[in-house]
Structure 1
Amino acid sequence: MPWSDHAIWWHVYPLGFLGAERAALPPGEPPRHRLPVLADWLDHLLALGCNGLALGPVFAAETHGYDTTDHFRVDPRLGTEEDLTELVERAAERGVRVLLDGVFNHVGRSFGPFQDVVRRGAASPYADWFVPEGDDFRTFEGHRHLVALNHENPEVADHVAAVMEHWLDRGVAGWRLDAAYAVPRPFWRTVTDRVRARHPQAWFSGEVIHGDYTAYVTEGGLDSVTQYELWKAVWSSLNDTNPHELAWAFKRHNALLDTFPPQTFVGNHDVTRIASRLHEPRHLAHALAVLFTVGGIPSVYAGDERAWQGVKEERVGGDDAVRPAFPARPEELGDDRLSVQRLHQTLVGLRRRNAWLVRAQTQVHTLNNTVLTYTLTDPAAGPGSGAAVAVALNFGAAPATGAVPAAPWTRGAGDGDVDAGSGTVSLPAFGWCVATAPGIPG
């Protein structure tokens, strides 16, 4: 297995997590050395069972980090290059890999090459880095302050490859590619092929919300993409008491696993937190059971392990509630919703003991108006052999039953029971169960 198949990411949005200023520091202001604080959270990450730290934007930017002004400079609100490299080194000492967030579809208007174009027009050597549109330049989804790069220009590919290699040389493990869906796939192929020549172990995951997920891997050269379809199906099916929606999403998910393991999640820095999204708090366990059993490479958004609340709103500052500041040390979290953190630990532990789940496909057995049961088996084992995991979810407010194949099941988590002889699963209201077996008889 490649190292990425064993990755479980803890996802942090540093500008929010570390309580940084909302806008870039004035010129001449000394850097704020905030990044070292994250090193004090590595033990928390490891205690969850994670082994990867996925960072949001850390490069110089105007405001929220996705308006980059210098890809080679750490945002002074967070610290210096030395602070970041020290964090990467301290993470590596604990066996934790660090993923950086690369914003390569667009830049902030203060980006040096763009400012040169503003001053010098067609005489600028960077004139072809951007695409004129009307009396301005092409932007990202209508946001004037986010100027789109011209991905048809080979010099832009040179720049992106140089940025990636600069930070990979300093020990990072890979890149999350922001707004990957807005960038032509041949551009990604050009860049990733070039970077892999020097860093063959680098991992690239693209933010893809809609479209042909598989094409970003086969044509774009990425290793994975964000599985937004499954994310939506998880909370939507639970809120609507509609297991059929989730079962349908599993079919699409299985098809993706034929080619690559998607990056799975139930929360991130761009969406309403899962604890706020779900109408019924008891459904949180169902969402987590799905996240940590289905194929893919899971991530936990910092704060979700304590069921933090936060609603994203479509307005200026609408992301603030899902990107809050954290205390300086994990001990300051106290015991609030510690039970949710322990549930994460239980399910991540089960995942660790069954690492083959990363590429395992989901087979549905019971599907009705309130109950969904499914199993996964080790894809490297033959029929009737190899480890197996069974999951049963009761979406409804009344006790219910379902079934999985008969096997010597051992309950690993949840409040339901599986009869090993018959495969019958008994579930209380809003109940759930995850069980394991050495194999399912053929």
Structure 2
Amino acid sequence: MRNDWVGHVIWWHVYPLGFVGAEPEAGPSTGVSHRLGHLEQWLDHLIGLGCNGLALGPVFASGTHGYDTVDYRRIDPRLGDDADFTALVTACRRRGIRVLLDGVFNHAGREFAPVRAALDGTGPREWVRWSGEYPYLFEGHDRLITLDHSSAVVRDLVVEVMCHWLERGADGWRLDAAYAIDPEFWAAVLPRVRERFPDAWFVGEMIHGDYGDYVKRSGLDAVTQYELWKAIWSSLNDRNLFELAWALDRHRAWAADFLPLTFLGNHDVTRIASQVTDSRHLGHAVALLFFLPGVPSVYYGDEFGLRAVKEDRPGGDDAIRPPMPPTPGDGGDDYRRLIGIRRRHPWLTGARIGTDGLTNETLAVVAEGPAGERLSLLLNLADKPFAHGPHDPVAPHSWAIVEG
């Protein structure tokens, strides 16, 4: 089976520019700062949690936050250089850690050479998507110029870049803003990459849209499960587990066809410890992440309970993308315990799920494996115990994973 290793991966997701404390902008005279080694000091923490995948945010040369790429073949000098990337991948390989890269192929920075030439009229226009004489801007951001995905030169670029970094040791790609790209683009690109790297994994960022249809038409292996992410914290905050049950029905259908990337946090959203308004229910969210089918991802620092709110303003992402100390401290026990349960029951990755005992404040999520295995996650948001079947009652504002 193609890339069957994915069923055993739990990612630890890092936003590198923030993690290493890089400057917010890359000036014209910025020299190379060899900071990727800072990440290597945290790899044993990753393993200690029970994770075995390192999902990296943007590492390629950019003007500011990494999503305005200016050179897809060069490591951002604020992070280091090719040798630093090789050292990090080698350190991961020694520990059995897979590496996922962030591919920003919907748009590029204004200073990406083909884009700059198209905009100033000195190069072919086919790199850029135009509206008359004006370039399309990604979500209104002046620095983010949308590429023309109907163009052969753009398809060729993406194939070449993907293969280059897979050859350098990456195991797959997270495809930024996939929801903004016609799925037929990936259907044209991915077979060419898989000819050389049949074991690579490709997950598209989908915030909205028909996940199942997009996967089918694009040929992607997976998409990000934003719908489930939203339902988890929203249902806990509103004490409305009917919302969660509805999302789980949809999740079950998708998980039967592909393994979605599941998460509680990432570089674009408020930290889960801040998002869940009643701290007594934070553990419920973490339990759901590691109990449900899919490929889980832990955003760096969430295991320590870091708090931060994403704000809709310039610099509003900085708080959720913080620098980290040279080495990890203590913490992460809840994550470690739940990842341990996941590791002892690997069939949960592809489990069939159903629900029972549903009220506004109680829910049993039942998972079944291919050989008749059965576990239940009992969620109680109420002020009184939740009794379900033959199991001991779950205390108020608690959760439990039980056999059967």
- TM interval, short-chain normalised: over 0.9
The equivalent of 2:218 in structure 1 is 220
Please identify the structure whose Cα radius of gyration is greater: 1
Contact 1:392/1:425 (8 A) holds in 2: no
Q: Tell me, what secondary structure is at the counterpart of 1:401?
A: coil
Measure, in 2, the Cα distance between the counterparts of 1:327 and 1:44.
13
Measure, in 2, the Cα distance between the counterparts of 1:79 and 1:189.
33
**1:375 offset after TM fit, Å?**
1.2
Q: Tell me, what secondary structure is at the counterpart of 2:142?
A: strand
The equivalent of 2:367 in structure 1 is 376
Measure, in 1, the Cα distance between the counterparts of 2:73 and 2:365.
47
Q: Tell me, what secondary structure is at the counterpart of 2:377?
A: strand
Instruction: Give 4+ residue runs of structure 1 displaced > 4 Å after superposition.
Output: none
How many corresponding residue pairs? 402
Q: Kindly provide the amino acid, as one letter, of the partner of residue 46 in structure 1.
A: I
The equivalent of 2:17 in structure 1 is 15
Aligned positions of 1:133-172 closer than 5 A: 133-172=131-170
Q: Tell me, what secondary structure is at the counterpart of 2:28?
A: coil
**1:69 offset after TM fit, Å?**
0.4
Aligned positions of 1:42-53 closer than 5 A: 42-53=43-54
Measure, in 2, the Cα distance between the counterparts of 1:21 and 1:222.
34
Q: CA RMSD for the aligned pairs?
A: 1.2
Counterpart selection for 1:364 from 355, 360, 373? 355
Q: Tell me, what secondary structure is at the counterpart of 2:378?
A: strand
Measure, in 2, the Cα distance between the counterparts of 1:363 and 1:135.
53
**1:136 offset after TM fit, Å?**
2.6
Q: Kindly provide the amino acid, as one letter, of the partner of residue 7 in structure 1.
A: V
Aligned positions of 1:35-434 closer than 5 A: 35-119=36-120, 121=121, 124=123, 126-330=124-328, 333=329, 335=330, 338=331, 341-378=332-369, 380-381=370-371, 386-403=372-389, 423-434=390-401
Q: Tell me, what secondary structure is at the counterpart of 1:175?
A: strand
**1:400 offset after TM fit, Å?**
2.6
**1:144 offset after TM fit, Å?**
1.5
Contact 2:61/2:76 (8 A) holds in 1: yes
Greater mean alpha carbon deviation, residues 186-195 or residues 127-136: 127-136
**1:216 offset after TM fit, Å?**
2.5
**Structure 1 residue runs without a partner (length 5+):** 404-422
Measure, in 2, the Cα distance between the counterparts of 1:277 and 1:402.
28
Aligned-pair identity (%):
52
Contact 1:175/1:204 (8 A) holds in 2: yes
TM-score (norm 1): 0.89
The C-alpha deviation readout for 1:307-349, integer Å capped at 9, x for no partner, is 100100111001011001000111xx3x4xx2xx111011101
Q: Kindly provide the amino acid, as one letter, of the partner of residue 90 in structure 1.
A: A
Contact 2:391/2:402 (8 A) holds in 1: no
Measure, in 2, the Cα distance between the counterparts of 1:369 and 1:177.
36
Contact 1:25/1:77 (8 A) holds in 2: no
Measure, in 2, the Cα distance between the counterparts of 1:55 and 1:131.
28
**Structure 2 residue runs without a partner (length 5+):** none
Measure, in 1, the Cα distance between the counterparts of 2:20 and 2:132.
39
Measure, in 2, the Cα distance between the counterparts of 1:207 and 1:47.
28
Greater mean alpha carbon deviation, residues 170-179 or residues 363-372: 363-372
Measure, in 1, the Cα distance between the counterparts of 2:228 and 2:84.
36
Q: Kindly provide the amino acid, as one letter, of the partner of residue 309 in structure 1.
A: R
**1:435 offset after TM fit, Å?**
2.0
